[in-house]
Amino acid sequence: MAEPMGFFTDTTVCIGCKACEVACKQWNQLPAAKGGLNSLSGDSYDNTRRLDGLHWRHVKFVEQFTPDRSEGRWLLMSDVCKHCVQAGCLEVCPTGAIFRTEFDTVVIQSDVCNGCRDCIGACPFGVIGINPASGTAQKCTLCYDRMQAGLVPACAKACPTESIQFGTIAELKKRAAARVQRLQGQGEKRAYLYGADDKMLGGLNAFFLLVDRPEIYGLPPDPKMPSRNLTSSSLWATLGAIGIGVLGLISFRHRGDRDA
Amino acid sequence: MGRGAATFFYRNMEESDCVVVMGSNMAENHPVAYRWPMKARVNGAKIIHVDPRFTRTSAMSDIYAPIRAGSDIAFLGGLVRYVLNHERWNSDSFFREYLVNYTNAATIINAEFKDTEQLDGVFSGLMEYTEKVKEWPFNGFIGQYDNASWQYAGTAAQARGWVAATQQSGEQRVGERDRDSARPSPASPKTLPKGPPYDALVRSLLKPPPQRDETLKHAGTVFQILKRHFARYTPEMVARVTGCPQETFLKVAETILANSGRDRTTSFAYAVAWTQHTNGPQVIGCCALLQLLLGNVGRPGGGIMALRGHASIQGSTDVPTLYHSIHGYMSHPSAQQKHATLADWLASETTARSYWANTPKFMVSYLKSMYGDAATRDNDFGYDWHPKILGDHSHMPMFVAMNEGKVRGMLCIGQNPATSLNAAVERKGLRHLEWLVVKDNWVTETAAFWSKAPEIQRGEVKPQDIKTEVFFFPSAQVAEYDGSFTNTFRMLQWHFKAANPPGDCRSDLWFTHQLAKRLKKLYAESAAPRDQGFKNLTWDFDPNPAQGQEPRVTGEPDGLKILREINGYYTGDPNRHVAGFGDLKDDGSTTCASWIYCGVFPAPGKNLAANRQADPPGTRGAQLGWGYAWPANRRIMYNRASADTRGRPWSERKKWIWWDGQKWTGLDVPDFPVSKPPSARANPDRVGLDSQSGTDPFIMKDDGKGWLYVPTGLVDGPLPAHYEPLESPVKNPLHKQQWSPVLKYWKRDDNAVAAVGDARFPYAITTYRLTEHYLAGAMSRWNPWLTELQPEPFVELSPELAGEKGITNLDWVRVTSPRGSVRVKALVTRRMRPLTIDGRVVHQVGIPWHWGYMGLSVGDAGNELTALVGDPNVSIHEGKAFVCNVEKA
């Protein structure tokens, strides 16, 4: 296996230009939703609103201003599939369409996907959706095809400010830690990394530098695997099975009584 | 400073310690170049954004300073005053050495000069304007200045080349008196020395050098005039005029000064939000003044980055599509100027003491390029065949003239006037044409003005009543042909064809080439004198037969032959290219279409625009092996100023060009005579750069100095003064004079403007672009990937104003100006804010202007609201600041 690869997205240098969204669509041949006939969302400059089967990169715009404007920020962040080390989608996929690549990334094979949507519910970040063109579940592949050819993923290549950085996870973590330290030194005390360590789903292969709580960016503070419910649900299943067994025994007994 | 372009290169913004973005939304409209300010920021530089709106650039800045649209000079003037009065600036030897030696601070001005502070908002010399040419009464001035009193004491400074378009064209007759007294009148041609060679003619133009007081104490020095002129631009006044809180303004001022000096540099970046005002060049001039005071010009990480709004706009002014100049910023021969003969033109346009002393070489080589072998010494190199302009033929007067039936046909390439300024008037103009050719990627609003325009949809105009014959030519896109781009910092980059254009789409080169060939054929038999120029025009751009062409796309010219024509070659041997503009001759032995580009193609097979040799990663450098930047591949202009008067780098950290004892050397191509030592004395008896000293870095200027005070070249004053936009919600808090007394306004019923404080139009409005769309939309509104990102036009307004008007987010609203109205959705955001101007609350709204009635994403065009109002120097409109009303629709 090659070294684990991924994205480090430094939101403090994202200029919200959406070049990543367009470059992604161009390389991956994703059409615009409804042929481009969209309407204004009214939510800042975000008119595509979410990651889904047609939008594998999505730039979020968070306006934070006090009523008197004495404090004001416009947080910009390019969101993407996290390529979790412990990936919920991979765990639930019944057909084996989702697999882990030699780069430790998570990819959905369209020709094996049956469109059951289990993965959509299993993803704690909501990155997967159905591509209406193929009828299958789709999301960022971290440009698996480009990586196999030794190329940088389209979004990172197009990013003019190096907000999206691509590389080995080990190298990116080093860079990210240095960047946090630098920002802290420059007075940005709120800077921290989201998903860089293995506490979050074993580590996110696409992790982020943020300057506010995860919820502000629409990210779960404590994402969980679908299998987290395994113990409790299996307990209930066991109890249910016992109950049904007892009921069965009772009914057999009654029948026996009648027979007798 | 002397050249119409960015003073440095945008990659070098990485070396800035502070970047001020003002008059630009750089992150949104130049996202790729914004990489470099972001790199500087990552390294600890401060980014400041001064703007009416909190944009994506503001989001990426350390300080955001809100201002009212159209109040830039008040803000910049406040910075100038802050610097002039600051203790550190007055005591630091760096600032003093730079100021006294490299700027005209010490120069003494004519005692007759009266400042705006003395005349309540106007300069001395204001007079009435009268149209002079009856065939073209469309210059639009409301007044004019005679600049005789603005001159240097005892000698009239001259500026040529990069001066006001309206001065070059002659429609503004500033300084005529001065020109008449400064040299023999061309009305008596006997007194003009004959040429070529034209050395005697240039020598006859020599004037005494300016008088200087290097102690800066003389009351008539530029320095003392500046101190008096800006005395009232206090932080309180800045807040009153601009609405920017004093503490924010002071934080900006402190940050800029703290990051300027021997070891630190600050750069400015601006774009069309500085130019699209009735005083745009003065705003830029005020920035130049500030940067010169701070010693931030000609040095790494310092300077002024002019961000162009369109790919190769720089190229289109260098090899011009401008009305007032021919290639290389030389004045277009004009019926309004003393341009009767070549000698007259040379006498009018040459300055003897600057690099422009070489003008005869540039002009004769240009004429040789135009008329080839037919251009001879005996016929003034065909000068008489050259067309002459009558006045202002720029966009706005052209459409006014069109409305008056003075224009019969129009070729519209890469423009979309149907959604341009005061769009209804422009469409009305198009209806007066006999024919219209639109060459574009799509059937744009202009191509469909007769069938889909709002007035057609409303039934006010019927297509059958429009007599204009419209031709549409589908255009090839840039990757479908070879050619060059000149980017925002003067760098030419060759691009190669990647694919054939589809169907009948053809390049602009193809179209122009084929049109020229057909016109030449049409005029071939004409005996009319006026057609002789066309008959003699050289046009040799067909590819060599051996080259072969794609069978389907035939008739493309050879781009390299055009590049050779631009670069220049020896008339005796067309295969011998001119290696640089220093080799051009005034005797007809060289040809060169555009002298500033001379050197880009110094030998056959050596196209430097195609160079792709980057500096090694991690090294400091000027990237000299990547593309080719005019002039002479210099990346930072006036870089002599990166060394002190003795030629040593100002500091190790800011080392760029220095004197090594024998020559100028360093990281860039020196913008200075390479072997001229810092100790060289000015020789007042010599012409050209010999008349300048070893400490005169601004070689395009008559005195070698950076001009803090501009005696000539601008037609609206030697210093920037704050004026309100022609349409403003407030009275000018600074002067009795409300707006520029010499602005351009085309008075028409359909071009009405609101009076100051008109209650029907109470809000300030500005127009702008979004990252997701490009200009009038022909390259973006047809693209579904982009329309889904920004699907509809909108107006941005603050929750405070929305609350007053009962508007909620996404409501349909109607925005109205005295010219028209648009129906768009409301985007209510705290990024917009009410400002307190002169004691009262002024609301400001913003509207992107990308939209129109054709394409995938349609909506009302912002330009239905704008006016035909122009700046007096370059005839740029005032689309960045006017007034409106907003109501729920």
Tens-place pLDDT, residues B471-524: 999 999 999 999 999 999 999 999 999 999 999 999 999 999 999 999 999 999
CATH class of segment(s) A5-223: alpha beta
Asked whether the beta carbons of residue A15 and residue B825 sit closer than 8 angstroms, the reply is no
Contact of B555 with B513, CB cutoff 8 Å: yes
CA dist., res. B359 & res. B362, Å (int): 5
DSSP H helices, A34-168, are 88-92, 118-122, 144-148, 154-158
* pLDDT exceeds cutoff 60 at B754: yes
pTM over 0.90: yes
Q: Does B831 touch chain A (CB under 8 A)?
A: yes
Give which of A254, A252, A218, A225 is closest to A49, Cα–Cα.
Answer: A218
> Which pLDDT score, from 0 to 100, does residue B182 have?
41
Residues of B in contact with A73 (CB under 8 A): 59
Query: Which of A230-239, B5-14, B111-120, B292-301 is least confident?
Result: A230-239
Segment B264-273 mean pLDDT: 97
CATH architecture of B405-556: 3-Layer(aba) Sandwich (3.40)
> Which pLDDT score, from 0 to 100, does residue B189 have?
46
Question: Which residues have CB under 8 Å from B485's CB, separation 6+?
Answer: B311, B312, B315, B478, B492, B493, B495
CA distances from A155 to A152, A203, B341, B720 (A): 8, 21, 59, 45
Interface test with B, best of A8, A11, A12, A17 (most B CBs within 10 A): A17
Query: Which of A110-119, B128-137, B144-153, B548-557 is least confident?
Result: B548-557
Q: Show which of residues 37-96 on chain B sit within 8 Å of chain A, judged by CB atoms.
A: 38, 41-42, 44, 54, 56-60, 64, 66
> Which pLDDT score, from 0 to 100, does residue A255 have?
57
The CATH 2.40.40.20 portion of chain B extends over: 744-888
Model confidence over B203-229: pLDDT tens digits? Answer: 999 999 999 999 999 999 999 999 999
Confidence at B33, pLDDT banded by 50, 70, 90: very high
Model confidence over B51-91: pLDDT tens digits? Answer: 999 999 999 999 999 999 999 999 999 999 999 999 999 99
**Chosen CATH of B10-108+212-309 out of 3.40.47.10, 3.40.228.10, 3.50.50.60, 3.20.20.70:** 3.40.228.10
Segment B555-566 mean pLDDT: 95
Report helix, strand or coil for B10. helix
* pLDDT exceeds cutoff 80 at A257: no
Residues of B in contact with A162 (CB under 8 A): 35, 38
The CATH 3.40.228.10 portion of chain B extends over: 10-108+212-309
Q: Show which of residues 786-825 on chain B sit within 8 Å of chain A, judged by CB atoms.
A: 786-792, 794, 809-810, 825
Asked whether the beta carbons of residue A36 and residue B28 sit closer than 8 angstroms, the reply is no
CA distances from A180 to A167, A207, B795 (A): 18, 13, 37
Asked whether the beta carbons of residue B825 and residue A40 sit closer than 8 angstroms, the reply is yes
Confidence at A238, pLDDT banded by 50, 70, 90: confident
* pLDDT exceeds cutoff 90 at B173: no
Residues of A in contact with B27 (CB under 8 A): 15-17
* pLDDT exceeds cutoff 50 at B329: yes
Residues in A lying within 8 Å of B, measured between beta carbons: 13, 15-19, 21-22, 25-26, 31-40, 42, 44-45, 47-48, 63, 65, 67, 69, 72-76, 160-162, 179, 182, 186
Count Cβ atoms within 10 A of the Cβ of residue B866 and give its class: 0-12 exposed, 13-18 middle, 19 or more buried.
buried
Question: Which residues have CB under 8 Å from B483's CB, separation 6+?
Answer: B494, B495, B507, B509, B559
Can you give the residue ranges of every domain in chain A?
5-223, 229-259
Count Cβ atoms within 10 A of the Cβ of residue A199 and give its class: 0-12 exposed, 13-18 middle, 19 or more buried.
exposed
Asked whether the beta carbons of residue B829 and residue A26 sit closer than 8 angstroms, the reply is no
Contact of B595 with B360, CB cutoff 8 Å: no
- H-helix or E-strand containing A80? strand A72-80
Start-to-end C-alpha separation, chain A? 68
- The shortest CB-CB distance from B829 to any of A32, A63, A67 is to A63
B763: β partners:
B884
Buried b (16+ CB within 10 A) or exposed e, B594-629: bbbbbbbbbeeeebbbbbeeeeeeeeeebbbebbbb
- Going B550 to B551 to B556 to B562, the CA torsion angle's sign is positive
Confidence at B112, pLDDT banded by 50, 70, 90: very high
Asked whether the beta carbons of residue A21 and residue B789 sit closer than 8 angstroms, the reply is yes
Query: Which of B20-24, B326-330, B667-671 is least confident?
Result: B326-330
* pLDDT exceeds cutoff 60 at B815: yes
> Which pLDDT score, from 0 to 100, does residue B465 have?
97
Q: Show which of residues 839-858 on chain B sit within 8 Å of chain A, judged by CB atoms.
A: 856-857
Residues of B in contact with A17 (CB under 8 A): 27-28, 31, 56, 771
Asked whether the beta carbons of residue A15 and residue B27 sit closer than 8 angstroms, the reply is yes
Asked whether the beta carbons of residue B31 and residue A74 sit closer than 8 angstroms, the reply is no
Q: Which residue of A has its CA nearest to B59?
A: A74
CA angle B328, B104, B322 (to 5 degrees): 20
Q: What is the mean pLDDT of chain B?
A: 95
Q: Give the number of other Cβ atoms within 10 Å of residue A177's Cβ.
A: 13
For chain A, give the number of residues: 260
* pLDDT exceeds cutoff 60 at B187: no
Closest approach of B440 to chain A, Cα-based (Å): 21
CATH class of segment(s) B744-888: mainly beta
Model confidence over B765-782: pLDDT tens digits? Answer: 999 999 999 999 999 999
Contact of B262 with B856, CB cutoff 8 Å: no
- H-helix or E-strand containing B403? helix B395-403
- The shortest CB-CB distance from A17 to any of B31, B54, B783 is to B31
Closest approach of A42 to chain B, Cα-based (Å): 6
* pLDDT exceeds cutoff 60 at B177: no
> Which pLDDT score, from 0 to 100, does residue B547 have?
75
* Dihedral angle over CA of B782, B788, B793, B795, nearest 10: -150
Q: What is the mean pLDDT of chain A?
A: 93
Q: Does B785 touch chain A (CB under 8 A)?
A: yes
Asked whether the beta carbons of residue B825 and residue A16 sit closer than 8 angstroms, the reply is no
Asked whether the beta carbons of residue A76 and residue B788 sit closer than 8 angstroms, the reply is no
* pLDDT exceeds cutoff 80 at A254: no
* pLDDT exceeds cutoff 90 at B566: yes
Q: Show which of residues 128-167 on chain B sit within 8 Å of chain A, judged by CB atoms.
A: none
* pLDDT exceeds cutoff 60 at A144: yes
Q: Which residue of A has its CA nearest to B36?
A: A161
Model confidence over B655-696: pLDDT tens digits? Answer: 999 999 999 999 999 999 999 999 999 999 999 999 999 999
Contact of B488 with B6, CB cutoff 8 Å: yes
> Which pLDDT score, from 0 to 100, does residue B155 have?
80
Report helix, strand or coil for A129. strand
The CATH 3.40.50.740 portion of chain B extends over: 405-556
Q: Which residue of B has its CA nearest to A54?
A: B785
What tokens appear for B56 in the block?
A: 């994506």
Asked whether the beta carbons of residue B810 and residue A34 sit closer than 8 angstroms, the reply is no
Count Cβ atoms within 10 A of the Cβ of residue B700 and give its class: 0-12 exposed, 13-18 middle, 19 or more buried.
buried
CA dist., res. B56 & res. B771, Å (int): 9
* pLDDT exceeds cutoff 70 at B159: no
Write the ipTM: 0.93
Question: Which residues have CB under 8 Å from B108's CB, separation 6+?
Answer: B152, B153, B210, B211, B212, B213, B218, B220, B221
- Select the more confidently predicted residue: B155 or A138: A138
